[in-house]
Homo-oligomer: A and B are copies of this chain.
């Protein structure tokens, strides 16, 4: 039992991925960097988290992908489907509810 609270951030990787892809098409390696950067390293899921997640999300129909070669480099760009957008909205709502609930207990009088 280290002084590590990684469990608290469980599920947030998916929320971050969906939200980033809602704004623009991105590829895996780029997503890994983007999450770490935009959260100031508070969240920083590695490739071992993001790649399997992308595969699962695509399989479930939340994402679609297309191959694209840029500067001789082959990349797989992912973008949000309608189903993915729906899932993102639901997750964001749930996150909001969670925040309220935790705040209720944490800052109770």
Contact = CB atoms under 8 A, between A and B. Distances in A.
A82 interface: no
Given A56-B1, A60-B1, A98-B42, A105 B8 contact: no
> How many subunits of this chain does the assembly comprise?
2
Interface residues of A, number: 40
A104 interface: yes
Nearest to A7: B11
Contacts of A75: none
A7 B62 CA distance: 17
Given A19-B105, A92-B106, A105-B20, A100 B5 contact: no
A23 B16 CA distance: 34
A8 B1 contact: no
Contacts of A49: none
Interface of A: 1, 3, 5-12, 14-16, 19-20, 23, 35, 38-40, 42-43, 56, 60, 87, 90-92, 94-95, 97-102, 104-106, 108
